[in-house]
Structure 1
Amino acid sequence: MSWRLFARNNAIERFRHGERPWALVTGASDGIGKALAHSLADRGFNVLLHGRNSAKLDQVREELLLAYPTREFDIIVADATQPALVSKVAEAVVGKRVTVVINNVGDVGGPVQLVTNATAEDIEKCINLGVSWLPRLTRVLLPHLITNQPSLIINIGSLVAEHPAPYLAIYSAANAYTQAFTHALAVEN
């Protein structure tokens, strides 16, 4: 469903409403997140760019400002492996009409390896990224999204949720959580 919002003409337009609409993209410093930030800016959204590397985020912000000089781009530096930093994102959305949130944070949480070879830190990082961060972030952003309806949350996951990969057991499980959380959240609303 989520990719159709960008593929079909005007599908995401219904979420761009009100004065100065904003979208938040987590994991926006490169890859899919960066591409989605460009796509949202192209469709008229101001974009909050989240990531853990301020230098990369500054570079993405400069690229976006050159391509879309009439848009605004704010940066939120917060390490998603530290769930307590969700408060930085909550502070950044205050006073902004956020109508779209794209949760794109993700990482395999360490080297591709057997679970028996994973360190406690590898496991904790993967679980914090894939399990702890998502519901905490969603909980703090939902009041903003409800106030600014119609609004949208897109949670980006991996196919390993449905087709677990060897040496990626923890990452596969975290993605299965993302998928289950997303489906349950859709039923709630």
Structure 2
Amino acid sequence: MLSVVQILAVVGIVSLVLQLYRLLSFIWLYFLRPSTVHRYLHGPPAYALVTGASDGIGKAIAAELYNQGFNLILHGRNEAKLLNVVDQIRGSARARDVKYFFADASDADHDFERILAPFKDLNITVIVHNVGSSPLTREKINGLSKTDLMDIINRNAIFPLMVTHTLLTQLHLASRTGPVLVQFIGSQAGELSPARLAVYAGSKAFLKALARGLDTDERVWDTQTSVRFAYLNTGQVQSSTMRIPSSLATPTSERYAEAVVARMGCGWRQYCPYWMHSIQAWCAQLLGESAADTFAAQAVADLIAVHEKQS
């Protein structure tokens, strides 16, 4: 019979092996693994659909995918801003197709079949659901209107869900000639549920569960398709809505977009595309719930202060 010391030794060895495996996986994913994004350039001309592409991360991801060889379908709410993005991308030396559509993701009453009908015959092999945001405010949820609350949920959860629902049959057809990937841009808020961002965090946690469930449907119940789903855990990224200085821990939208595209096809259902965000997520786990809550609350308070100063 094993002694207590032997049992503890076995537990220690197993824990060490698991941490070593995690370290090696980290090094492989972020520093050694070659990009496989070109696996999705198959069949007829391949299209990538990016929601929330009129600015920030979405705009940068769209430009990066275009540079990698994809035709584009871009979504945005602000017509002038999205058309400017379309003109910028079309103005490059590459002669690929750039289509677009307008829709306010906060609105729950869209006719998604009608909105997406112009693209029903296209070979969509990549979708990046980037659309989503939440106001930075000192108000608790009882200080927000019902409309404000539903706007956050619709923008971050319902709109990506319904676009995916509408296009899934089309994605299955595209998967006959090669792999298809649907990615949801998540947030570390979905893991930490920080103060004043409870509804936003809940909507991102919904996307995390949705991505896992949809991917399990494809892997386990419908093994004849090669449609895959992933949730991208995202930390702070400098953008027009996150107007903070860039740093090693806070990449620019362009640097983050490069990381997103470089990790496409890695096979993980949930991960941080940017390596420093992965370290931050690991540190949050080590801190424990109470310490992480305190740290996240202070981080949100600092962001709110910056936002108020810039408004």
TM-score, length-scaled by structure 2: 0.56
Q: What is the distance in 2 between the residues matched to 1:160 and 1:101?
A: 22
Residue 212 of structure 2 is aligned to residue 183 of structure 1:
yes
Task: Select the residue among 21, 46, 67 that pairs with 1:21.
Answer: 46
Residue 80 of structure 1, CA deviation: 1.0
Please identify the structure whose Cα radius of gyration is greater.
Answer: 2
Alpha-carbon distance change, 24 to 112 in structure 1, aligned in 2, over 3 angstroms:
farther
Partners in 2 of 1:82 and 1:110 — Cα distance?
20
- Indicate the larger mover: 167-176 or 107-116: 107-116
Structure 1, unpaired ranges of 5+: none
1:7-27: CA deviation from partner (whole Å, max 9, x where unpaired): 954411111112211110000
The residue that corresponds to 1:117 in the other structure is 143
Secondary structure, counterpart of 1:84 in structure 2: coil
Q: Tell me the TM-score normalised to structure 1 length.
A: 0.91
Aligned mates of 2:138, 2:101 — CA distance in 1: 29
- Of residues 115, 119, 123 in structure 2, which corresponds to 1:93? 119
Does the 8 Å CA contact 1:104/1:156 hold for their aligned counterparts?
yes
Aligned residue type for 2:89: L
How far 1:113 sits from its partner (Å)? 2.5
The corresponding residue for 2:109 is 84
CA drift at 1:109: 5.2
Identity value in percent: 32
Query: Counterpart of 1:41 in structure 2: which amino acid?
Result: Y
Maintained 8 Å contact 1:46/1:71: yes
What's the C-alpha RMSD, in Å, of the aligned pairs? 1.9
Deviations 1:122-172 (A, max 9, x none): 101011112222221111111111100121100111110001111111111
Question: Is residue 128 of structure 2 the alignment partner of residue 102 of structure 1?
Answer: yes
Task: Return the alpha-carbon distance in structure 1 between the equivalents of residues 108 and 93 of structure 2.
Answer: 32
Equivalent position of 1:164 in the other structure = 193
Q: State which drifts further: 83-92 or 137-146.
A: 83-92
Judged with a 3 Å threshold, the aligned counterparts in structure 2 of structure 1 residues 141 and 25 are, in CA distance, closer, same or farther, namely same
Offset at residue 97 of structure 1 (A): 0.9
Q: 1:134 — aligned with what? A: 160
Deviation at 1:75, TM superposition (A): 1.2
Size of the aligned set, in residue pairs, is 185
